[in-house]
C-alpha cells in the first residue's frame, strides 16, 4: 500500500519539525549586554579617573617649577598658635584647605623684601575658601610684629599672622633659614618647601598655587 502524502508532499501522519522558539534567549541577551556595557564603561571611567591623578600632579609640579620648590612628603608638623588678635589657630582646624605656611621675623631683611609679595599672593587668592596663607613670626617679642606690619602698610593684609616665640615649630618643619615657605595639602601632608625669598606676587606664583588646588 502506498502511503498518502499531505498537500505539501510529506507522508500523511508525519510530523513537520517545528523550529524552537529562541525569543526567550534573545530577550535575555538585551539585559546581559546592557550589564556588560555598564561594567566595561565603569572600568574605563575608573581607569580614566585614576590616570588623571598623576597627570594633575605632574601639571602642578610643572606650574611650580619656576619657583624651584624642594619636594616634601609626610604629615606636616601640627601646631596651635595665636594670631595677633589672641585667637588660636591650629593646622587641624584648616584641614580641607590648601595651606601656605611662611616663617619670618621682623629682624630678617630678606623677610622684609618678601612680605609685600606674600600679601599680593593673598590678594590674588582673595575670596577663595579652599586656601589659607599663614605668616608665622618667630620674633621673641610679639609687640614688634604689629608695628612692623604698620610700617609696611600691611595692617589689612589677607595673610593671617601667627606668633611662635620658641622657634620650635620652624625647626620642626626642617629649616633654620628665614624666610621659608611650605605647602600643606588639604589632607595635612607636606608637598613643597621654598627656602629663602620667593616672588610670591608674580603671576607664576599665583598659577603655582592654583595648580596645587586643582590636584
**pTM of the predicted model as reported, rounded to 2 decimal places:** 0.73
Q: What is the pLDDT of residues 46-76, one digit of tens each?
A: 444 444 445 445 555 688 999 999 999 999 9
Q: What's residue 40's pLDDT?
A: 65
C-alpha to C-alpha distance for 202 and 123, rounded to whole angstroms: 12
ω before 179 within 30° of 0 (cis)? yes
Bridge partners of residue 189, in order along the sequence: 75
Q: What's residue 175's pLDDT?
A: 86
Q: In the chain, what is the greatest distance between 2 CA atoms, to the nearest angstrom?
A: 129
For the chain, 215 residues long, give each residue's pLDDT as a single digit of tens: 444 444 444 444 445 444 445 555 555 556 666 655 565 655 545 444 444 445 445 555 688 999 999 999 999 999 999 999 999 999 999 999 999 999 999 999 999 999 999 999 999 999 999 999 999 999 999 999 999 999 999 999 999 999 999 999 999 998 889 999 999 999 999 999 999 999 999 999 999 999 999 87
Per-residue DSSP letter, 17: P
Kindly state the helix (H) or strand (E) to which residue 203 belongs, with its residue range: helix 203-213
Bridge partners of residue 80, in order along the sequence: 90
Q: What's residue 214's pLDDT?
A: 83
Kindly state the helix (H) or strand (E) to which residue 118 belongs, with its residue range: helix 109-124
Amino acid at each position: 500500500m502506498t502511503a498518502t502524502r499531505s498537500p505539501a508532499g510529506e507522508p500523511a501522519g508525519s510530523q513537520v519539525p517545528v523550529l524552537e522558539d529562541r525569543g526567550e534567549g534573545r530577550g535575555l541577551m538585551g539585559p546581559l549586554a546592557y550589564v556588560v556595557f555598564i561594567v566595561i564603561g565603569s572600568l574605563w571611567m575608573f581607569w580614566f579617573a585614576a590616570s588623571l591623578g598623576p597627570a594633575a600632579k605632574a601639571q602642578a609640579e610643572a606650574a611650580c617649577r619656576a619657583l624651584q620648590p624642594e619636594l616634601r612628603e609626610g604629615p606636616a608638623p601640627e601646631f596651635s598658635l595665636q594670631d595677633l588678635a589672641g585667637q588660636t589657630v591650629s593646622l587641624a582646624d584648616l584641614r580641607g584647605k590648601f595651606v601656605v605656611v611662611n616663617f619670618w621675623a621682623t629682624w630678617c631683611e630678606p623677610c622684609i623684601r618678601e612680605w609685600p609679595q606674600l600679601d599680593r599672593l593673598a590678594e590674588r587668592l582673595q575670596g577663595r575658601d579652599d586656601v589659607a596663607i599663614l605668616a608665622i613670626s618667630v620674633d621673641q617679642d610679639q609687640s614688634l610684629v604689629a608695628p612692623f606690619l604698620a610700617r609696611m602698610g600691611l595692617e589689612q593684609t589677607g595673610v593671617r599672622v601667627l606668633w611662635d616665640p620658641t622657634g620650635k615649630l620652624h625647626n620642626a618643619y626642617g629649616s633654620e633659614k628665614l624666610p621659608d615657605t611650605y605647602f600643606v595639602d588639604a589632607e595635612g601632608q607636606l608637598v613643597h618647601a621654598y627656602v629663602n625669598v620667593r616672588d610670591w606676587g608674580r603671576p607664576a606664583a599665583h598659577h603655582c598655587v592654583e595648580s596645587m588646588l586643582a590636584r
